[in-house]
Structure 1
Amino acid sequence: MAIQVGERVPNIELQVMGSNGPEKISTGELFAGKKVVVFAVPGAFTPTCSAAHLPGFVVNADQIKAKGVDSIVCTSVNDAFVMDAWGKASNAEEIVMLADGLAEFATAVGLTQDRTATKMGIRSQRYAMIVDDGVVTWLEVDEKGLEKTSAEAILAAL
């Protein structure tokens, strides 16, 4: 079952790219005492994710942060090298590119999808949430498209 509004985000250790390579970071560290926007995509460098989803957050990062958000996190079932390269290719300096290489976070929040039939393995669903001090205060999942999980949807929810 998917995580619900009012529930605490599970503490999972993931990775971000540091100056000397991949570094461990826990979701507890990311969310403790902060208001954080998280959006998840099925895969880095994939068409919708690269053409619309991530760019929307890049363009609107300042407006989102102006509404009291401490950080914006993009997560995907990719490794830290891929997430870092995608962030750089997308000019996503204001966004934490969080690598969920083994789908541990997506699984822990109950938002995976099985794409093994198309040789993509277990992936994250496309979702967005607002997390305040580790507790989900808003959550939307897009079955198709990204109307519910776009940067504009987040801005409307803040």
Structure 2
Amino acid sequence: MKAGVRVPDVTFKTRVRDESVGGPNPYRWQDMTTADYFAGKRVVLFSLPGAFTPTCSTYQLPGYEKNHARFKELGIDEIYCMSVNDSFVMNAWARDQKLENVKVIPDGSGTFTRLMGMLVAKDNLGFGYRSWRYAAIVNDGVIEAWFEEPGREDNHGEDPYGESSPENVLKYLESVSVETAS
């Protein structure tokens, strides 16, 4: 659906650990751009409704973290998890999940998600606007492959999960790897 489309040019407001700040919360603000994350790299980006939510915390994020080495073998430089959550929440979730390989991207205002056409209302859950669940392989800022959960709509009664799973994205990468080797 979105293959061949360049990802939107956005500046993300992030908090990064910086020991020179001192104190019990040694973080500083750092703007990161789409180019910082995507330029010159082949990455997996997956986006989900919210940090600390059940499917995201039990299956999707841990699955990408666990399969990091396999993604690297298949030519992926980085794996990014994005959510319409602020940097404080995303950093806390990364610590809670004990992430070592997957990097989190806070889309606190939902700007990137909106420009991707994936912002949906989740008022039925008390969430406000969030991302519809999807994954993409992005090569130097251009979408190579797209994996979107079916039924995208505001206030969807379910939270479909399968298309954007690490297993499904790995299956695609393995098939491309076999084609390239032939």
Instruction: Give TM-score, length-normalised by structure 1.
Output: 0.93
Equivalence for 1:13: 11
Equivalence for 1:152: 167
Equivalence for 1:82: 89
Q: What is the aligned counterpart of 1:43 among 43, 47, 50? A: 50
Q: What is the aligned counterpart of 1:111 among 99, 115, 118? A: 118
Letter in 1 for 2:135: A
Indicate conservation of the 8 Å contact 1:58/1:91, yes or no. Answer: no
Report how far residue 11 of structure 1 moved. 0.9
Equivalence for 2:99: 92
Report how far residue 142 of structure 1 moved. 1.2
**What percentage of aligned pairs have identical amino acids?**
38
Alignment of 1:138 onto 2:136: no
Residues of 2 paired with 1:9 and 1:61: CA distance? 23
Gaps of at least 5 residues in structure 1 are none
Partner SS for 2:99: coil
Equivalence for 1:59: 66
Residues of 1 paired with 2:135 and 2:164: CA distance? 5
The structure whose residues are more often strand, as a share, is 1
Indicate conservation of the 8 Å contact 1:22/1:81, yes or no. Answer: no
Report how far residue 146 of structure 1 moved. 2.0
Residues of 1 paired with 2:79 and 2:120: CA distance? 23
Larger RCO (CA under 8 A, 6+ residues apart)? 1
Instruction: Give TM-score, length-normalised by structure 2.
Output: 0.81
Report how far residue 115 of structure 1 moved. 1.1
Residues of 2 paired with 1:16 and 1:97: CA distance? 10
Larger Rg, first or second structure (1 or 2)? 2
Q: What is the aligned counterpart of 1:128 among 124, 135, 139? A: 135
1:89-121 Cα distance to aligned partner (Å, 9 max, x none): 112121111000011110011011111243211
Runs of 4+ residues over 4 Å off in structure 1? none
Partner SS for 1:138: strand
Residues of 2 paired with 1:22 and 1:82: CA distance? 14
Partner SS for 2:67: helix
Residues of 2 paired with 1:65 and 1:16: CA distance? 25
Residues of 2 paired with 1:11 and 1:115: CA distance? 25
Residues of 1 paired with 2:80 and 2:117: CA distance? 18
